[in-house]
Amino acid sequence: MGFSRRFNDNAGNSGKVRFNGRDTTLAAALAAAGLIVMPGTTLASSPITSIDSENVNEEVRYARQLSKAFRSVASGVAPSVVSIEVTDSAPYHGSAAPGGEAYPGGRGSMPMPPRRGGATGVVIDSKGYIVTNYHVVEGADEILVEFHDGTRVLGTLVGKDQETDLAVIQVEADDLTPARLGDSRNSQVGEWILAVGSPFGLDQTVTAGIISAVGRDQMGLARYESFIQTDAAINPGNSGGPLVNLDGEVIGINTAIRSSSGGSNGIGFAIPTSIVERVSSSIIENGRVERGWLGVAVQPLSDELARSFGYEGEDAVLVSSVLPNTPAAEAGLLAGDIITTIGDEMTSDPADLIRAVGQHDANAEVQIEYVREGQAMVVIASLIERPSNIEEFVRGSRGEVGEVGLIVKPLGVEEAESLGIASGSGLFVEAVEKGSPADEAGLLPGDVLRRINGENLVDPVDFSDAIRKAISAEKAIRVLVERKDLTYFMLIDPETD
């Protein structure tokens, strides 16, 4: 603790301990425990150990006040903290092994025993909604919830979100006490906190520590990360439990530890309530999380890259590509743009951009500040819901129509300018498969398709649908093609065999 010991051989002072000023809190705690003696008091037949501090009584009072605060917070949050036991019956989730396979120690083919695990949850609503971790309930066949008074009830999974490692379950129970959720954005490094949970199956366990860091990301634990780091002891079983400040407010949901032994090494991570509230609300309302999506690929902006674009600084992200038929494309963003802000959030790295976009709902409008060729620009983008399968979305948005051998995309300003034609409705032909119906009709890469069967073309998906309808009806497809300064009508005879 950094204290120094000094022994004096003078009579009546056979032992004396001096504490540095920064250790008076320890001295106070030792005095309160009776392990050392205050100045002016004696112990019979024992040498007197004294504290050389005039403020020890005040320090004892402070120590006891902190202890009282811990007790108050722990008792206040206890009714809102539950233990969760999950059961995964064979065949186990994610396992290819059949349920009747023999297991070690068994004779012949015997049923595989169910797997069980324990964790923690927090009541967030009087209607029985409980938040916990996605990895706690993933693959669970049965969820058993135990309250602080010993009541045990079955829980039902409402929804889960792997992207943030959060899930919501619901129970039918009366007189529930929801936890008070605080604003994690006000949390400060060095702030005292408590972690409550069921480590190793020991329910209602409380540990204390401080906030070690905030905004931890790129940990590889979830797609959307902005963890609160703490040195409060968090062990297996604490997952899903609350991180609580001294005001009795839950500011995070404990989710992971960094450990070489499997136990607490003093580095734990909690999902902040700024994320928990939005995700849990969306799950309760929709059964899933709807997130906004922009449709750009970005990369970190190094100093060397920044200079090549004439940009000073690195606190931004570089757009490496813009997916067609996305909010980014419709807003006019281009590869090479440098995005500095989305909404009111700075985008210093790709993780910042992912969080800034993902915290908005689908159909939300966001303001994007960016720099293009040294000029600061602002645009409003209307987000869409993030596709569950982005690769499939990209294939669809690029209009890959295998039946006629075409790959098309929306006609952007860049393509129109490079071709010397007017922008607007139309699809740009990226590729034509050799020997395909499109190739036999005379279409070439770089052509612009303006109409199909008399209808203006804007969306590659609509084009794909029109192609498939024509194939189903065994009809030829009439397209209006613009090539350089000329327009042509062409007939594509789809393969209908």
Q: Which one of the listed residues 88, 165, 352, 447 is annotated catalytic?
A: 165
The HSE-up count of residue 92 (CA atoms within 13 Å, CB side) is 12
CB 481 within 8 A of CB 450: yes
Dihedral angle of Cα 394, 398, 404, 405, to the nearest 10 degrees? -90
165 is catalytic: yes
Q: Which one of the listed residues 50, 135, 161, 352 is annotated catalytic?
A: 135
The token duo for 346 is 């700075």
SS3 467: helix
Distance CA 209, CA 194 (A): 6
Which residues sit opposite 386 in a β-bridge? none
Location of structure tokens 């734990």: 268
Q: Which one of the listed residues 187, 239, 274, 282 is annotated catalytic?
A: 239
CB 109 within 8 A of CB 120: no
Dihedral angle of Cα 130, 161, 112, 200, to the nearest 10 degrees? -50
Instruction: Show contacts of 200-204: CB within 8 Å, 24+ apart.
Output: 200/235, 200/236, 200/237, 201/118, 201/237, 202/237, 203/83, 203/146, 203/148, 204/78, 204/81, 204/83, 204/148
Question: What kind and span of H or E run contains 68?
Answer: helix 56-77
Distance CA 148, CA 381 (A): 48
Tell me the C-alpha to C-alpha distance, in Å, between residue 305 and each of 314, 332, 351, 371: 9, 22, 18, 13
User: DSSP class of residue 16?
Assistant: -
231 is catalytic: no
Distance CA 172, CA 155 (A): 8
361 is catalytic: no
Nearest to 189 by CA among 210, 220, 209, 208: 210
Residues forming the active site = 135, 165, 239
